């Protein structure tokens, strides 16, 4: 099995090395194509107005001055054009990618692009908390990742579906199980704009999140399962069509 590994935290991110180790537990044919710089939050953006600069770091390891989407396209259509990958692993992201995160995440985007190109793809993220922010439990993803991926592949990933996996902010032995969960939804009232001024008195702004206790996550979702110490597995479809509303619109507009 040929595996293409990418991420959105950049070519030097520790989570990328964890993802490579997970991939090597599954195959000895592992290739890395990752962004030259941190691309967190770029979602499924594609470089159309700038050239892509490709740098070979080591055999089977490349950096691209571009987005995770660019990296997967370069990997599949250029670097591995002779024999494409059988699996794309995107991550391991530093921080969870659950609920609305999936619409912003470059990690998810790497798996989206692999799926669009017809390659089974899995996004991997390691959650952290206030105490583990600087040193997430990478060993949790490393220990549980390979077997989980094997089981997902044995089940067979349908075409046009990617799999989003999140590891809890816990040591490997403290994991309470695996939850196949739906995508959750956060209370967006927590998003704030933090206005500031630079040294010259000019205004600038940060997107921030309010501090304090938050409502308990809903059971059955990726948010709830992750909070309960379970590894979350969420299948995501490329097709975003809302069929019930499409049917209603057809009745109104047809």
Query: Could you tell me the pTM of the whole model?
Result: 0.95
The mean pLDDT value for 221-248 works out to 97
Does position 8 have pLDDT exceeding 70, yes or no? yes
Least confident range from 9-23, 31-45, 151-165, 198-212: namely: 198-212
Average pLDDT for 221-232: 97
Calculate ∠ Cα 147-71-75, nearest 5°. Answer: 75
Using one digit for the tens of pLDDT, what is the confidence trace for 68-105? 999 999 999 999 999 999 999 999 999 999 999 999 99
- Decide: helix, strand or coil at residue 204: strand
Written as one string, the DSSP assignment of 134-163 is SS--HHHHHHHHHHHHHHHHHH-PPTTEEE
Which of the four pLDDT bands, split at 50, 70 and 90, describes residue 40?
Answer: very high
Rounded (10°) angle between helices 138-155 and 14-24: 40
Which pLDDT score, from 0 to 100, does residue 213 have? 62
Confidence of residue 231 (pLDDT cuts 50, 70, 90): very high
Q: Which residue has the higher pLDDT, 211 or 157?
A: 157
pLDDT at 210: 77
- Which residues have CB under 8 Å from 84's CB, separation 6+? 2, 76, 117, 119
Three-state SS for 120?
Answer: coil
* pLDDT at 244 exceeding the cut of 80: yes
- 175-218 residue pLDDT tens: 999 999 999 998 777 789 999 999 999 999 999 877 766 666 76
Residue 129 has pLDDT above 80, yes or no: yes
pLDDT in the model for residue 216: 63
Q: What is the pLDDT of residue 222?
A: 97
Nearest by Cα to 93 from 143, 128, 144, 62: 128
């Amino acid at each position: 099995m040929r595996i293409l590994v990418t991420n959105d935290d950049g070519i030097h991110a520790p989570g990328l090395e964890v993802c490579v180790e997970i991939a090597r537990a599954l195959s000895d044919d592992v290739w890395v194509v990752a962004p030259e710089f941190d691309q967190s939050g770029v979602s499924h953006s594609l470089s159309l107005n700038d050239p892509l600069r490709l740098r070979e770091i080591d055999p089977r390891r490349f950096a691209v001055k571009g987005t995770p989407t660019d990296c997967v396209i370069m990997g599949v259509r250029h670097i591995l054009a002779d024999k494409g990958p059988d699996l794309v692993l995107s991550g391991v992201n530093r921080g969870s990618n659950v609920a609305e995160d999936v619409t912003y995440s470059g990690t998810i985007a790497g798996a989206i692009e692999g799926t669009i190109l017809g390659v089974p793809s899995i996004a991997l993220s390691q959650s952290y908390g206030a105490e583990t922010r600087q040193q997430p439990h990478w060993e949790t993803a490393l220990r549980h990742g390979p077997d989980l991926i094997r089981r997902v592949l044995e089940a067979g990933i349908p075409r046009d579906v990617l799999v989003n996996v999140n590891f809890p902010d816990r040591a490997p032995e403290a994991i309470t199980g695996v939850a196949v969960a739906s995508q959750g939804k956060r209370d967006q009232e927590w998003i704030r704009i933090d206005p500031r001024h630079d040294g010259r008195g000019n205004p600038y702004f940060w997107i921030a999140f309010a501090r304090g206790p938050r409502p308990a996550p809903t059971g059955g979702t990726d948010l709830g399962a992750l909070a309960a110490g379970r590894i979350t597995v969420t299948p995501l479809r490329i097709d975003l069509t809302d069929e019930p509303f499409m049917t209603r619109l057809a009745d109104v507009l047809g």
